[in-house]
Amino acid sequence: MAITKEKPDGGWRAWRVVVASFMISFIQDGVLYSFGVFLPSLTTHFKVGRATATVILSIMTFMTQGSGPLASFLLNILGHRGTTLVGALLSTIGLSASGLIIWCGVQDIMVFYFLTGALTGIGFGFMYLPAMTIIDHWFSSNMGLATGIAAAGSGVGQFVLSPLIEWLIEHFGLTWSFLIMGLIVS
């Protein structure tokens, strides 16, 4: 005899989960898909071409999507909140350390590949999976609407963070832009 738990399918707690998932998509996808705004400054700092600098974004995207099996494994052990917190911690460390290595004058882009590409990318993957799968625990008949709202954070994040990143680079420079993005992710 199987015991089934009824999904709330609404209520303030369920919609609060949707808002939290929206914000995770906003931050994670907003930073990931607005990363191109950093490229001109990165090519100047590292004295490399756009193709070489773009590898950072390629690694970050690959690690975000490729970390799914590991994120799923962690999800089974730590739960949604724990996996998301691990992801936020890794992403914060990756972005903040990237700002610090720029401040220190490190010119080796390979370090950036690891910190921003791999570490931040894995962190984003650990944030993404729980944010999308938690909706299923709270909704049945309104699941499409709830998932759509949560996923809409991605586009809104890109819309808001692209001009913000550009403004930060213009007014505070590359180092502080990465440190502030690390603070936003945290």
Helix 68-103 vs helix 143-185: angle between axes, to the nearest 10 degrees?
A: 30
> What's the pLDDT at 5?
66
Q: Give the 3-state secondary structure of residue 11.
A: coil
CA dihedral 50, 55, 57, 63 (to 10 degrees): 180
Residue 145: both structure tokens together: 């609407």
> What's the pLDDT at 1?
42
- For the chain, the average pLDDT equals 91
Give the amino acid at 18. V
Q: Which tens digit of pLDDT belongs to each residue from 141-177?
A: 888 899 999 999 999 999 999 999 999 999 999 999 9
Q: Which tens digit of pLDDT belongs to each residue from 20-49?
A: 999 999 999 999 999 999 999 999 999 999
> What's the pLDDT at 3?
47
Nearest CA among 101, 96, 95, 97 for reference residue 120? 95
pLDDT of residue 57 exceeding 70, the answer is: yes
CB neighbour list of residue 151: distance below 8 Å, 6 or more residues apart: 25, 132
Instruction: Report yes or no: 53 and 43 within 8 Å, Cβ to Cβ.
Output: yes
0.75 surpassed by pTM: yes
3-state secondary structure 22-51: HHHHHHHHHHHHCHHHHHHHHHHHHCCCHH
> What's the pLDDT at 122?
96
Instruction: Report yes or no: 39 and 165 within 8 Å, Cβ to Cβ.
Output: no
Instruction: Report yes or no: 139 and 9 within 8 Å, Cβ to Cβ.
Output: yes
Q: Which tens digit of pLDDT belongs to each residue from 73-95?
A: 999 999 999 999 999 999 999 99
Give the amino acid at 76. N
Mean pLDDT of the region 16-20: 93
**H/E run at residue 129:** helix 120-133
N-to-C CA span, the chain: 43
CA distances 13 to 9, 29, 62, 87, Å, are 10, 24, 33, 23
